[in-house]
Amino acid sequence: MLHGFDFAVTGAPVVIADGLTGKDYVEVAVNLKHFRTVKIASAACHADALLVVSHFRGTWPPVSAAC
């Protein structure tokens, strides 16, 4: 039995949205109380759609956001 969210399980590619080194981002102006700009993973920011699949253990759910 296979586990995880890889192509063999989902039939869809897994995209590392902020690049292989984690430095591929777009800076977006938000003008909020504590932040004037935020860095969003470029592949997520430029995507037409975003499907977030999360798996976690424990009492705190993961927090996901998209632009």
Domain around 24: 7-46
The reported pLDDT for the residue numbered 1 is: 46
Tell me if 67 is assigned to some domain.
Answer: no
Q: Residue 13, SS3?
A: coil
Tell me if 12 is assigned to some domain.
Answer: yes
Tell me if 41 is assigned to some domain.
Answer: yes
Number of folded domains in the chain?
1
The reported pLDDT for the residue numbered 67 is: 46
One-letter amino acid of 55: H
Tell me if 19 is assigned to some domain.
Answer: yes
Query: Which of 30-39, 44-53, 54-63 has the lowest average pLDDT?
Result: 54-63
